[in-house]
Amino acid sequence: MNHLSWGMVASIFLAFVLVCSAEEKEKPITPDLSKIKDKKTWSLINVDCETAMEDGKRVVRLKPTGEPNTPAEMGFALVEGLEFAEGTIEIDLKGRGKVERCFLGVTFDAVDEKTFEAVYFRPFNFMKDDEFRARAVQYISWPDDPWEKLRKEKPGVFESAVKPVPDPSGWFHARIEVTKKKVKVWVDDVKEPSLVVDRLASRDKGKIGLWVDNRECSFSNLKIQPAK
């Protein structure tokens, strides 16, 4: 009887610890995409933007405004007042199909438009049957490690195919886990990541937001879960 009582006490104590741990976990941050033109909430760099309702959800469309084939072609929408170190980023994205070249994703550890990390997708490569399919998702760390350098020096390490293969013209969901040493990328609801890389930047934290290059792309349901 005494043994049973102690077991019950231990179980209650364990349940209490688990509840306290859950309460201590950082709450997800869901930046308001409808306020993306509000300078107090977002910082827009090299992009035009518009918001709309599509398929029952709030959508932001970002269009780069910089000169083509230059670093200024990349566009950013950074969340104001938030610094991100480690954690998980979730986002719904929509490209422009098989033919139109577009690049879209998220940036983190960002100082400005010239110093940042990013994970982005090339939807026009999702369904390719040749080596280009292995260039569907990419990690970069500007300015020291752009995609050109990474592909030349470490081919196939910092870019990969996407599994399962999304519709290049449709919405897909990305989950990006950022730790001090690694970046992992999952697409839609799968167990195995499409991309696992070593982080190349050494900054402790920076700004976080949306990233786009080349053509207008769409974003929705941004959720940021900081690590404890």
Q: What is the structure's pLDDT at 20?
A: 46
> How high is the pLDDT of residue 14?
46
* Beta-strand relationship, 195-198 and 42-45: unpaired
The burial class, CB within 10 Å (0-12 / 13-18 / 19+), for 47 is: buried
Q: What is the pLDDT of residue 129?
A: 86
* Greatest Cα pair distance in the chain: 78
- How confident is the model at residue 55, as a pLDDT? 82
Q: How far is CA 58 from CA 27, 108, 123, in A?
A: 21, 22, 21
Distance CA 168, CA 48 (A): 23
- Report the CATH fold assignment for 27-226: Jelly Rolls (2.60.120)
* Cα-trace Rg, the chain: 20
How deeply is 62 buried, as exposed, middle or buried, from its count of CB atoms within 10 A (0-12, 13-18, 19+)?
A: buried
What pLDDT sits at residue 132? 95
Collapsed DSSP state (helix, strand, coil) of residue 187: strand
Which pLDDT does position 6 carry in this prediction? 52
Chunked into runs of 10 residues, the chain (228 residues) has average pLDDT values of 49 46 69 96 97 92 84 89 97 96 97 96 94 96 97 98 95 98 96 97 94 96 95
Provide the CA 186 distance to its chain's centre, in angstroms.
Answer: 10
pLDDT at position 10 is 46
3 state SS of 101: coil
The model's pTM: 0.88
Q: Which two three-digit tokens encode residue 158? A: 């910092």
Vertex 148: Cα angle to 147 and 149 (nearest 5): 90
Q: Which two tokens stand for residue 120?
A: 């982005």
On the question of a cis peptide bond just before residue 164, with omega within 30 degrees of 0, the verdict is yes
How high is the pLDDT of residue 66?
81
